[in-house]
Amino acid sequence: MKKVIVSLLCLFILLQIVNVISHKIIFDRTSYELLFNIPVFGRGALLPFLNFDGKNYLTIAKYGYEANRQLTVFFPLYPLLVRILSFNLFFNPILVGLLISAVSTLAAVIVLYKLIQIEYSEKIATRSIALLLLFPTSFYLFAYYTEGIFLLFSVFAFWFIKKKNLLLASIAVFFATATRLVGITLIPVLIFEAYKIYKKKGEITWSVLISPLGFVSYAIFNYLKFGNPFLMITAQTSSRFGRTIDIFSPFHIFRDAVIKIISGPLPSYDSLFVYPVIILEFLYAVFIIMALYFSFKRLPRGYFLYMLFSVVLIFYSSALISIGRFILVIFPTYVLLALTLPRKIFVVWSVISFLILIFSSSLFLRNYWIS
C-alpha cells in the first residue's frame, strides 16, 4: 500500500516537472490571467490543470448552468461539490476543486488496490495500479476534471458488490451517474448482480433502483430549467461540440479517423501536434476494442459488462476526440493487462506508456488539445 501512495506522489511530482520543462520548450497557449478574478497562489503550477473543460466546470461552480445551457453536457456533481466544500465559494473554488480531484484519486487508487488484491494477488494489484498511473492520460486524475472522482465512485461500486452490499453499491452508482453520463454503464452490472441473487435466493434486490437516480435527477433539473430532460445529450450536437449522434455513429467515427490519418497533416491544423494526436486517438480506439475482446474470457462478468457498455457509449458519442480520457477510468482494462502481459512485454508497455504520458501531459498543460 505504501508503494501505491508513493507512486501516486511520484506521478504528481512528475507532472509538475513536465509543467516546468514544457513551458520552456513548447509555445505556451495557457492563459495565466485570473479566472473570474479568483486569486490563485502559484498560477503557473495550478492554472494549466484547468485547461479546456476545467474552465467549464469552474464556470458551472461559480455561475451555474445559466451561464450557457450548452454546459449541461457537464454533469453537476463535481461543480456542486466544489460549491459545497468551498462553503459557497467562500474558500478558493480553484484550490478546492483541484483538492477534490487529488483526494478522490488517492482514495480511488487505495480502494482499487485492495479490491484487486482480494480478487487476485498483491502482484496483480501493484501491476494494475502502475498501469493506471502510467496510462498516457493519467494526468487528468489531478486536473480540474471529473476523472478522479468518477474513478472513485466506480471502484466503490465494485468494492461493495464484492462485499455483497448492493445498497451501498447502488448509492455509489447513484453518485457516478450524477458525475458523468458514462456512469449509467455501471447500472447493468448492478442488475446482473441482482439477477444472480434472485436466481440463487429468489430475492428481489430493490435497492438497485437507487442507481440511476443521479442521472434521473439531473434530467428532471434540465426539464424544469430548460424544458428538455435530455439536454445533456442533445447539447452534444450543438455547434460548440459539433457531434452527430445516430445509430451509425461508430461507423462514422472510424471512417473519419481513417480518412484523417490517410490524409496526413493538413495546412488547416493549428499546430504540428494535431496529426500525432489523431493517430493516438485511433490507437486508443483499437486498444480498447482489443481489451474488450480479451476481457470476455479473462475477467469476471461484471468487469466485462462494465467495459462493454462503456465502450458502446464511447463509440456512440460520435467522436474519438476524448477517447483517451474516457478509457482512462475503465479500470478493468489495467487488471486485464496485469494478468496477461508477460514480464518483458509489461516493461516495454510501461516505458512506451510513460513516454506518451510525457508527450500528452506536456500538450495538455500548454493548452493543446490531447483528449
Q: Render pLDDT for 76-114 as a digit per residue (tens, 0 to 9).
A: 999 999 999 999 999 999 999 999 999 999 999 999 999
Q: Answer whether residue 28 is part of any domain.
A: no
Residue 28, amino acid: D
Q: What was the pLDDT predicted at 369?
A: 94
Please enumerate in sequence order all residues whose Cβ is within 8 A of that of 18, keeping only pairs 6 or more positions apart, or say none.
358, 361, 362, 365
Domain assignment present for 262: yes
47: closest CA among 98, 90, 82, 87? Answer: 98
Examine residue 36 and state whether it is found in any structural domain, yes or no. Answer: no
Secondary structure letter of residue 34 according to DSSP: P
Cell numbers representing residue 121 in the block: 494477488
Counting the structural domains of the chain, the total is 1
Where the chain has pLDDT below 50, the residues are none
Q: 85 in a domain, yes or no? A: yes
Is residue 34, in this structure, part of any structural domain at all? no
Residue partners of 17: CB distance under 8 A and separation at least 6: none
Is residue 309 packed enough to be buried (19+ CB in 10 Å), middle (13-18) or exposed (0-12)?
middle
Nearest to 369 by CA among 269, 286, 255, 287: 269
CA angle (245, 248, 252) in 5-degree steps? 85
Predicted local confidence at residue 260, as pLDDT: 94
CA atoms within 13 A on the CB side of 185: 25
Residue 235's pLDDT is what?
A: 83
**Does residue 32 lie within any of the structural domains?**
no
Q: Cell numbers 468551498 correspond to what residue?
A: 86
Domain extent at residue 100: 2-23+52-365
Q: Which three cell numbers stand for residue 35?
A: 479566472
How far is Cα of residue 315 from the mean position of the Cα atoms in its chain?
Answer: 15
Q: What pLDDT shows up at residue 234?
A: 85
pLDDT at 238: 64
Q: Is residue 46 part of a domain?
A: no
> Would you state the pLDDT for residue 249?
79
Per the rule left: phi > 0, alpha: psi between -120 and 50, beta: everything else, 87 is left
For residue 40, is it within any domain? no
DSSP state of 112: H
Q: What is the pLDDT of residue 318?
A: 60
The residue written with cell numbers 454503464 in the block is 185
**Strand, helix or coil at 244?**
coil
* pLDDT, position 239: 56
Q: How far apart are CA 51 and CA 363, in angstroms?
A: 10
Instruction: Give 189-197's long-range contacts (Cβ < 8 A, gap of 24+).
Output: 189/157, 189/158, 189/161, 189/302, 189/305, 189/306, 190/157, 190/161, 190/166, 192/301, 192/302, 192/305, 193/161, 193/166, 193/169, 193/302, 194/166, 197/166
Contacts of 307 (CB under 8 A, 6+ apart): 288, 291, 292, 295, 299, 330, 332, 333
pLDDT attached to residue 241: 59
- Which residue's C-alpha cell is 442488475? 191
Closest CA to 75 of 226, 234, 219, 244: 219
Residues 317 and 245 sit within 8 Å (Cβ to Cβ): yes
CB 79 within 8 Å of CB 67: no
